[in-house]
Structure 1
Amino acid sequence: MTEIDLISLWVKARAHIIVSQAAPTFLLTATVGFLALGLGTADLAVRIAAAGILLASGIFGALAQIAAANEGLAVIADLRSVPTPSSLTRCIVSMAAWVNVVRYVTPVIFVIVYVAVLISLFFSANVPIMGR
């Protein structure tokens, strides 16, 4: 592959990373907004459905992010072997360590936010649980 081909693959991998974050981010943001408006007092079935939708979207988003990050790192590995790298190639190669943020940090943040949403959905003070 040429340097231009590899750069094109990098751009696609980066776009996939960005797009894969859109749905989980939107759903978590919307759920937090709905919680502020009273979703936490909805029927148990609605709260369970909301938790399930968030979980499925989060798992899919995390898998897509990890796959795109792995592909991006593979492209970076190939870009490292370009004999006379352009300035852009050197810039992309220097981003390699930051791709790990997508692979590890972003999913951890999702889990933390998801747990906070679950606590609000099921254990909030305004949600009647077992006769409270």
Structure 2
Amino acid sequence: MTEHELHQMWATTRLHIILSQLGPIVLLTASVGLVMAGLGHQPTPIRLAAALILLSTGILGALAQFSAASEAQAIANDLIALRGSSAVSRRIVASAGYTNVVKFVTPTIFVLTYVALLWAIFAPPAYGGMQ
């Protein structure tokens, strides 16, 4: 592959990372709004459905992010293998380590947010829930 092709792949992968975060961000934000609007007071099947929708979207988002970040790391490795790389290639290689944030930190934050929302939805008020 040429350096230019790898740059194009990097840009596409970066776009995939960004887009894969939009769904979970919107859904988590909407869920906080729903909790504040009284989701915790709804019947258990409704609360359970909301929790499962959040979980499935989070899992799919995390898988897409992990996959795209792994591809970005592979692209950076291919750029390293090229001799006489451009400044752009060197910058991509230098920033490739940040893809570990996408692979590990972002999903961890999602899990913590998900647990907090579950607590708000299902825990009794005496324990900080909204029920």
TM-score by length of 1: 0.94
Tell me the equivalent position of 1:16: 16
Q: Superposition pairs for residues 43-54 of structure 1, below 5 Å?
A: 43-54=43-54
Tell me the equivalent position of 1:80: 80
In the TM superposition, structure 1's runs of 4+ consecutive aligned residues that sit over 6 Å from their partners are: none
Give the conservation status (yes or no) of the 8 Å contact 1:17–1:69. yes
Q: Superposition pairs for residues 79-98 of structure 1, below 5 Å?
A: 79-98=79-98
Q: In structure 2, what residue type is equivalent to 1:93?
A: V
Tell me the equivalent position of 2:99: 99
Q: RMSD of the TM alignment (CA)?
A: 0.8
Tell me the equivalent position of 1:123: 123
Q: What is the aligned-residue identity percentage?
A: 47
Instruction: Using the TM superposition, give the Cα deviation of residue 124 of structure 1 relative to its aligned residue in structure 2, in angstroms.
Output: 4.3
TM-score by length of 2: 0.94
Tell me the equivalent position of 1:130: none
What is the CA–CA distance in structure 1 between the aligned matches of 2:81 and 2:71, rounded to whole Å? 16
Tell me the equivalent position of 1:3: 3
Tell me the equivalent position of 2:55: 55
Q: Superposition pairs for residues 28-39 of structure 1, below 5 Å?
A: 28-39=28-39
Give the conservation status (yes or no) of the 8 Å contact 1:40–1:124. no
Instruction: Using the TM superposition, give the Cα deviation of residue 51 of structure 1 relative to its aligned residue in structure 2, in angstroms.
Output: 0.1
Q: What stretches of structure 1 of length at least 5 have no aligned partner?
A: 128-132
Q: Which has the higher contact order (CA 8 A, sep 6+)?
A: 1
What is the CA–CA distance in structure 2 between the aligned matches of 1:124 and 1:37, rounded to whole Å? 16
Tell me the equivalent position of 1:71: 71
